[in-house]
Amino acid sequence: MAVNIPDKRVNLVSAERLSGHPYSGGYDSFTIANRIHACSPDSKIIIVVRNQLDMIRSIYKQLVKQGYLGEFKDLVKGESWKGTSFKPDFLKYDLIVGKYYELFGSDQVMVATYESILSDNHRFISALNKFLGVDEFQLDRSEEKFNVSLPDHEIAAYRIANKFKTSEMNPFPAFVLGERRFKLLHRSLCWYFKMKEPRLFEDNILRELADYYQQSNLNLGQLIRDPLTGYP
């Protein structure tokens, strides 16, 4: 979200939570959009989307790192009527983009894909400059990577080790290991699963998800006038 202020500077506010949270199914995504509009109706909105299959794999790995105990199918197929949980609709991007178009107008909303930023970040920065109405600038290109996704065998190890650590997703474990013993257990499980080469993501579930998002991606492509090459 970008807010223009009198001396022609631009303040940027960026947080993943502004689009809702994946583990809670983005239940308050529209509520947040309405609140942003109520507080700052002249804001410019920047939305970055990512191929849903890559996004779901990333979400699962991140949740396991934070203490999640379930398998991939539990995250995607699980249903909870007593509380919020992940819902595939959260990644129907045409819904949230359409909402922001409705509130702010399409000319005040910029939509970019994660993949296009990776492939040509200079082009993205140039488009961002134009959208924000600021002087042209470019970032120095860096090969340094941040928040790199862990390999599958480390995630499989975390899923088992998480049973013995207190976390938001497992607040009452039956037995708690100290930090040193937890790390030792995780390293041992990493060695085991690396030899076993686990498959975290079932192909049949990924195919179902690809089919599920096809129409949504077609709708989004029409909204932003981009065919979303490489998306389901």
The pLDDT confidence band at residue 135, using thresholds 50, 70 and 90, is confident
Residue 144's Cα: distance from chain center in Å? Answer: 21
Average pLDDT score over residue span 149-172? 93
86, burial (CB in 10 Å: exposed 0-12, middle 13-18, buried 19+): buried
The mean-pLDDT minimum among 36-50, 77-91, 144-158, 193-207 falls in 77-91
- Average pLDDT score, the chain: 89
pLDDT at 4 over 60: no
Q: What is the pLDDT of residue 134?
A: 84
Q: How far apart are CA 229 and CA 70, in angstroms?
A: 32
Residues 41 and 51: beta-carbon distance below 8 Å: no
Give pLDDT, residue 34: 97
pLDDT digits (tens, 9 = 90+) for 53-102: 999 999 999 999 999 999 999 998 877 666 667 889 999 999 999 999 99
pLDDT of residue 214: 96
Spatial separation of the C-alpha atoms in residues 170 and 33, rounded to whole Å: 31
| Of the listed ranges 84-88, 189-193, 224-228, the one predicted with least confidence | 84-88
Q: How confident is the model at residue 6 (pLDDT cuts 50, 70, 90)?
A: very low
Residue 169 DSSP class:
T
Give the mean model confidence (pLDDT) for residues 141-151.
77
Evaluate if residue 3 carries a pLDDT over 60: no
Q: Which of 15-24, 50-59, 187-196 has the lowest mean pLDDT?
A: 15-24
- Express each pLDDT in 175-184 by its tens digit: 999 999 999 9
Q: Interior CA angle at 217 toward 121 and 211, to 5°? A: 125
- Count CB neighbours of 72 within 10 A: 20
| Beta strands 45-49 and 109-113, pairing class | parallel
Query: What is the model's pLDDT at position 5?
Result: 47
Specify the pLDDT at position 16. 84
Separation in Å, CA 112 to CA 39, 123, 222, 225, 228: 24, 11, 14, 11, 10
Please give the average per-residue pLDDT across 135-156, as a whole number: 80
The pLDDT value recorded for residue 147 is: 76
On the question of pLDDT at 26 being above 80, the answer is: yes
- Per cent of the chain over pLDDT 90 is 62
- Tell me the pTM: 0.87
